[in-house]
Amino acid sequence: MKFFPIFLRTEGARIVVSGGGETALAKLRLLLKTEARIAVHAAEADPRILDWQQEGKLIWHPRPVSATDLDGARLVYAASDDAAEDARVAALAREAGVLFNIVDNRADSAFITPALVDRAPVVVAIGTEGAAPVLARRIKAGLEAWLPAGLGARVREADAFRPAAEALPKGRARRRFWDDAFAGLLDGMPGPAPQLAPLLETHKAAATAAGEVLFVGAGPGDPDDLTLRARRALDRADVVIHDRLVPAPILELARREAEIVEAGKTGFGPSTPQADINGLIVDRAARGLVVVRLKAGDPSVFGRLDEEIEACEAAGIAWSVVPGLTAASAAAASLGQSLTRRGRNSELRVLTGHDVKGLADHDWAALARPGAVAAIYMGKRAARFIQGRLMMHGAEAATPVSVVENAGRPEERILSATLGSLPAEIVAAGLTGPAVILLGLAPRAAARSVPALREVAR
């Protein structure tokens, strides 16, 4: 970050603008929304500046900025459309230790003004460090469309109600009240604003309720592949207990105050015993917290979901499951292939290469039949075993097999192999990320360059 965004107090501050033409006007329109006292310096001023002076909104000085004018000023805008004059004002500001902006000259400015979406007191500032103003405008347009016009009024009303809401215990209870107070507001369905007083009464009654556990599928790893329900669950979580496979960009979506626990690697032990994970889930929920148990892909696929649900049931804790996009779906999408196909396979098998006892046994005869399609999870190290079993049961060495590493993530790789070449290709590729093997499917020619495809899809 070359520029650090902050919100500057304008109440009682003085802001100096050098210039009286269009450039200065554009800045003044923005500055007049603040509570600052504004001084404009220009030999000649646009008639609108004179109007504003008449209305008492600013003071116009028909002379250039001097060092004494900057005494105690909070900000200076050099907006005279005259490069030499702007440089002179900037030098004075630097001397006086006042933050200055030279309009349209990012390189020489001490600060730059972001693009703004104004729903005061809610203000969104957008900056690209000047690198992509067109993009900043698009982001602004998107936010303008998203944030309802009445947002500011609702927030002011909430602010006034804040002392009353303190009747609720601090933390989760109060947060839930505010969640409901703003429900629908940002989902394109604002509806009528809820009456805060009766809503508060409902929440006071609910404040003594117990916690709950949400088993949430995080999808293959790209935050774009989270469901809206999963996002909402992350917004509500007091505690997030996640698998090693869930990447940082998804965890960053959790509430900032949420406790984040990795169940699977360092911190909680190299491979956390299931009983410890169950214990942690139950403990936090029993304290009345909302626990999100975040699992890669879909929680019901090789995720020990039942064991954790059973632990909740045994402890009398409420739970629910939020499904996610499983790795096989993301991998098939990247191959550009259908997992089922009329006349080829009317069943799809989902297998693991490993189970608790080691290499997993399967119905090899069925899997060896021509046209069979299977998604094999955790199969990298079992590839040679799987190959041997399938060929022993009559599978062709030429059967197409694809391996998709980091499916659905930016670093995704696809290996297009055959059953005969599979183990050697896996070794040669040196796969380090999670990979799913799709038996019976080859990448469709057009989908071979998958990174390019994903770019287009965005």
From 434, 439, 441, 443, residue interacting with ligand SAH (rule: CB under 6 A):
434
* 321: phi then psi, degrees, rounded to nearest 5: -115, 130
Indicate which residue of 265, 355, 361, 363 is catalytic.
265
Among residues 110, 245, 365, 447, which is the contact residue for ligand SAH, using CB under 6 A?
A: 245
Considering only residues 293, 295, 389, 413, which one is a binding residue for ligand SAH as defined by CB under 6 A? 295
Q: Between 64 and 247, whose beta carbon lies closer to ligand SAH?
A: 247
Beta bridge partners of 61: 41
Task: For 13-172, list the strands marked E by DSSP.
Answer: 14-18, 37-41, 59-61, 75-78, 99-102, 115-119, 122-126
Residue owning tokens 């669950």 = 233
Active site residue 27: no
Using CA atoms, how far apart are residues 100 and 108, in angstroms rounded to an integer? 9
Only one of the segments 47-55, 103-111, 146-154, 299-307 lies at the binding site for ligand SAH (rule: CB under 6 A); that segment is 299-307
Find the residue with minimal CB distance to ligand SAH.
297
| Long-range contacts from 64-67, C-beta under 8 angstroms, 24+ separation | 64/18, 64/88, 64/89, 65/16, 65/18, 65/41, 65/89, 65/92, 66/92, 67/92, 67/95, 67/96
Tokens 């520029």 identify what position?
3
User: Interaction with ligand SAH in 212-231: which residues (CB under 6 A)?
Assistant: 220-221
Q: Which of 58, 377, 400, 415 binds ligand SAH (CB under 6 A)?
A: 377
Binding residue for ligand SAH, selected from 90, 296, 382, 422, defined by CB under 6 A: 296
Q: Does 413 bind ligand SAH (CB under 6 A)?
A: no
The reply to whether 180 belongs to the active site is no
Of the residues 25, 298, 319, 368, which one makes contact with ligand SAH according to CB under 6 A: 298
* The binder of ligand SAH chosen from 408, 423, 440, 443 (CB under 6 A): 408
Minimal distance, residue 246 CB to ligand SAH, in Å: 9
Q: Are 328 and 223 in contact (CB under 8 A)?
A: no
Tell me the closest approach of the beta carbon of residue 355 to ligand SAH, in angstroms. Answer: 11
Angle value at C-alpha 200, between 195 and 205, nearest 5 degrees? 135
- Tokens found for residue 338: 């259908």
Member of 289, 302, 395, 415 binding ligand SAH (CB under 6 A): 302
Examine residue 335 and tell whether it contacts ligand SAH (CB under 6 A): no
Comparing CB distances to ligand SAH, the nearer of 124 and 350 is: 350
387 near ligand SAH (CB under 6 A): no
CB-based burial of residue 452 (10 Å sphere; 0-12 exposed, 13-18 middle, 19+ buried)?
exposed
| Helix (H) or strand (E) run with residue 7 in it | none
E strands present in 225-372: 239-242, 259-262, 290-295, 318-322, 348-352, 354-355, 358-359
User: What is the β-pairing status of strands 239-242 and 122-126?
Assistant: unpaired
Residue type, 417: A
Instruction: Verify binding: residue 19, ligand SAH, rule CB under 6 A.
Output: no
CA distance 237 to 86: 51
Tell the smallest beta-carbon distance from residue 189 to ligand SAH (Å): 31
Asked whether position 400 contacts ligand SAH by CB under 6 A, the answer is: no
Judged by CB under 6 A, the number of residues near ligand SAH is 22
Q: How far is CA 10 from CA 14, 108, 286, 313, in A?
A: 8, 23, 47, 55
**Using rule CB under 6 A, residue 264 touches ligand SAH:** no
Annotated active-site residue in 225, 243, 295, 298: 243
Query: Of 26-34, 117-125, 201-209, 289-297, which segment contacts ligand SAH by CB under 6 A?
Result: 289-297
Note whether 422 binds ligand SAH by CB under 6 A. Answer: no
**Residues with catalytic function:** 243, 265
Q: Which residues bind ligand SAH (CB under 6 A)?
A: 220-221, 245, 295-298, 301-303, 326-327, 377-378, 404, 406-409, 434-436
